[in-house]
Amino acid sequence: MLVLTRKAGEGLIIGDDITIKIIEIKGGSIRIGIDAPKESKIYRQEVYDRIIEENKMATQWDMDALDSLSTNLSTEKKEK
């Protein structure tokens, strides 16, 4: 991890097309501005962590639900 010290008004460049600028430092908070291409996905860490967790949960199979779905599909197929 790269650790930098920046003051208000200073910034840094990531790659050729992302600029991060320190807008304001007030109390225990820092406001930053990010200039990046529209196709770049930018998330707050806690939001990104939640997305990752929900994606993991979505890939877990509940065998009871899968069995029930299979039974329902089989029953529908026989009725046709």
User: What's the pTM value of the predicted model, to 2 decimals?
Assistant: 0.64
Tens digits of pLDDT across the chain (80 residues): 999 999 999 999 999 999 999 999 999 999 999 999 999 999 999 999 999 999 998 888 778 887 888 888 877 666 66
The domain spans of the chain are 11-72
Which burial class, exposed, middle or buried, applies to 15 when counting CB atoms under 10 A from its CB (0-12, 13-18, 19+)? exposed
> What pLDDT shows up at residue 77?
62
Closest CA relative to residue 23, chosen from 43, 7, 2, 41: 7
> What pLDDT shows up at residue 78?
65
> What pLDDT shows up at residue 68?
84
In contact, 8 and 23? CB cutoff 8 Å: yes
